[in-house]
Amino acid sequence: MMYHRLRVTRVIEETPDAHSLVLSVPPDLAPTFAYRPGQYLTLRVPHSHGIAARCYSLSSSPYTETDLKITVKRVPDGPASNWICDHIRVGAALELMPPAGTFTPASLDDDLLLLAGGSGITPVMSIIKAVLAGGRGRLALVYANRDQGSVIFAAELAALSEQHRDRLSVIHWLDSERGTPEPATLATLITPWAGREAYVCGPAPFVAVAHDTLQRAGVPANRIRVERFEVEERRSADDRDATLEVELDGQTHRLPWPAGARLLDVLIAAGLNAPFSCRQGHCGACACRLLDGQVDLVHNEILEEEDFAEGYTLACQAVARSEQVSVTYY
Ligand SMILES: Cc1cc2nc3c(=O)[nH]c(=O)nc-3n(C[C@H](O)[C@H](O)[C@H](O)COP(=O)(O)OP(=O)(O)OC[C@H]3O[C@@H](n4cnc5c(N)ncnc54)[C@H](O)[C@@H]3O)c2cc1C
């Protein structure tokens, strides 16, 4: 069983539109839910087409807390984030997949430059707590928000930087005071730490600005690690409802595949144990082979012409382009 039920033991209203949920892990599930700082959990939530899956980064750290914590910020009109903030209370049981993801430092002794926008602070907070408690690395955080009221973890960050003055520098960027961040201004701010490996997390517009900033400051591309919170949307006139046949774990399943939905989301919503990791078309963990029909990939940074020639595709990025699609994980 890929999903496990964990109980919410605490709900923390971090800001008017962000809630943290603390989840306790029963002892028999502790090995399954062991995680590295910066990883995320996938949560099943009700959706207009039945069930959907959404990822939430852990804001807790394995070095400082025994319970798990995720922090969810409302996205305007977003079904999952608003459902969680409106309905999840202490005692609720959530269906979650074990931790996944690669936005995690190789060593807690490395010095890092961290750039977070809004809810993008969640995995960054996990990394900060882990490095300060479990390593020797020094950290500089640039944290952008609309205004003071939307700064998640403001008090916790102030306490940590007070306690670790020589190891943690926090610079807040508030749009209400300085306008939206511009690469030229941000580049000047981060210059003292441009020699460090950089970790960037947040919604797409922030990630784009942060990336540009780091390039201007001379941080090489291979020293920039990014976690994007927005799965790239691409609605197309070619989107169509399809029927999916999938061979996985020794069984063949037939499933409805709604127009515009990603293959991986269809499999997860049906409770199937399909492999994946980054969900952003970078890592290839979700690769499967197309036996029949057509799909389009919204984003692809890993498969090459010869992979397509052998029928490979990425479940996390595939949308249906024919009425029948058949794939296999063998
Ligand atoms: C690896 C990963 C980790 C994530 N971790 C967190 C986390 O720790 N906390 C958290 O609140 N969210 C996190 N997210 C985003 C989360 O999975 C959902 O996408 C988000 O809650 C919106 O879901 P929804 O159903 O409410 O809205 P959707 O219908 O999925 O989205 C509505 C619209 O908002 C855009 N959108 C999605 N996420 C954001 C965002 N964060 N900011 C601005 N616009 C957005 C979408 O592109 C879409 O256009 C993470 C996403 C990924 C891929």
Cβ 248 vs Cβ 275: under 8 Å:
no
Residue 175 belongs to domain with CATH number: 3.40.50.80
Nearest CA to ligand 1 atom 42: 203
Task: Tell me, in angstroms, the distance from the centre of ligand 1 to residue 230's CA.
Answer: 5
Kindly state the average pLDDT of the residues 29-58. Answer: 87
- Do 122 and 80 share a structural domain? no
**Does residue 105 lie within any of the structural domains?**
no
Nearest protein CA to atom 37 of ligand 1, as residue: 230
The per-residue pLDDT of the chain, averaged, comes to 92
**pLDDT tens for residues 205-235?**
999 999 999 999 999 999 999 998 876 666 7
Domain holding 52, by residue range, is 4-100
The verdict on residue 306 lying in a domain is: yes
Averaged pLDDT for residues 170-199: 95
Mean pLDDT of 260-275: 88
Q: Residue 110 in contact with residue 198, Cβ under 8 Å?
A: no
Kindly state whether residues 52 and 119 are assigned to the same domain. Answer: no
pLDDT exceeds 50 at position 254:
yes
**pLDDT band at residue 67 using 50, 70 and 90 as cut-offs:** very high
For residues 208, 212, 214, 218, the Cα torsion angle rounded to the nearest 10 degrees is 160
Query: For the chain, what is the domain count?
Result: 3
Do 276 and 216 lie in a common domain?
A: no
CB proximity list for 43: less than 8 A, separation 6 or greater: 53, 54, 55, 56, 70, 80, 84, 94, 95, 96, 97
Is the domain of 217 the same as that of 290? no
Residue 158 domain-assigned? yes
Q: 303 CA distance to ligand 1 centroid (A)?
A: 25
Residue 1 has pLDDT above 50, yes or no: no
Whether pLDDT at 157 is above 90: yes
Contact call for residues 154 and 160 (beta carbons, < 8 A): no
CA of 45 to the centre of ligand 1 (A): 13
Q: Which of 31-35, 42-46, 76-80 has the highest mean pLDDT?
A: 31-35
pLDDT, average across residues 176-189: 93
Decide which of 100, 129, 154 is a domain's last residue: 100
Is the pLDDT confidence value at 264 over 90? yes
**Picking from 178-192, 220-234, 298-312, which range would have the lowest pLDDT averaged per residue?**
220-234
Place of tokens 């907070």: 125
Residue of 78, 77, 151 whose CA lies nearest to 119: 151
Q: Which atom of ligand 1 is nearest to the CA of 101?
A: 1
Token pair for 9: 């033991």
Query: Which residue's CA is minimally distant from atom 14 of ligand 1?
Result: 229
- In the block, which residue shows the tokens 């102030």? 158
What pLDDT score was predicted for residue 233? 61
Q: Which residues line ligand 1 (CB under 6 A)?
A: 40, 54-57, 71-73, 75, 78-82, 101, 119, 122, 203, 227, 229-231, 233, 279
In a domain, 116, yes or no: yes
Considering only CA atoms, which residue is closest to atom 4 of ligand 1? 56
Q: Are both 9 and 89 inside the same structural domain?
A: yes
For residue 281, pLDDT over 80 is answered with: yes
Same domain, 8 and 90: yes
- CA dist., res. 203 & res. 121, Å (int): 11
- In contact, 219 and 187? CB cutoff 8 Å: no
Instruction: Check pLDDT > 80 for residue 50.
Output: no
Q: Which of 52, 70, 100 is the last residue of a domain?
A: 100
- Across 111-138, average pLDDT: 98
Q: Quote the pLDDT of residue 229.
A: 84
**Domain co-membership, 220 together with 116:** yes
Query: Do residues 178 and 271 both lie within one domain?
Result: no
Residue 185 reports pLDDT greater than 50: yes
Mean pLDDT lowest among 37-41, 89-93, 253-257, 275-279? 275-279
Q: What percent of the chain has pLDDT over 90?
A: 77
Across the chain, the runs of DSSP E, i.e. the strands, are: 4-15, 18-24, 40-47, 50-57, 68-73, 93-100, 112-117, 139-145, 168-174, 197-202, 224-228, 242-248, 251-257, 287-292, 295-297, 312-314, 318-320, 324-328
Last residue of a domain, one of 176, 206, 228: 228
Ligand 1, atom 13: closest residue by C-alpha: 56
Confidence label for 54 from pLDDT (cuts 50, 70 and 90): confident
Residues above pLDDT 70, as percent of the chain: 97
What is the reported pLDDT for 34?
Answer: 97
CATH code for the domain of 23 = 2.40.30.10
| CATH number of the domain residue 317 falls in | 3.10.20.30
119 within domain boundaries: yes
Grade residue 100 by pLDDT with cuts at 50, 70 and 90: confident
Same domain, residue pair 280 and 184: no
User: Which residue CA neighbors atom 46 of ligand 1 most closely?
Assistant: 230
Contact between 139 and 4 (Cβ < 8 Å) = no
**Mean pLDDT (whole number) for 97-120:** 94
Q: Identify whether 236 is part of a domain.
A: no
Q: DSSP for 301-320, please give it.
A: SS--HHHHHTTEEETTTEEE
Least confident of 36-45, 110-119, 273-282, 283-292: 273-282
